[in-house]
Amino acid sequence: MLNKRDLVYKIVASIPKGKVVTYGQIARLTGLNARVVGNYLHNSPDPKKIPCHRVVNYQGKLAANYAFGGARSQRLKLEEEGLNIIKEGKVDLEEYLWKNAGKFTQRLVKT
With beta carbons less than 8 A apart as the criterion, state whether 83 and 75 touch: no
The one-letter code for the residue type at 31 is G
Q: Is 52 a residue of the active site?
A: yes
Query: Which residue among 11, 29, 52, 63 is the active-site one?
Result: 52
The beta-strand segments (E) located in 8-101 are 21-22, 55-56, 85-86, 90-91
Catalytic residues: 52
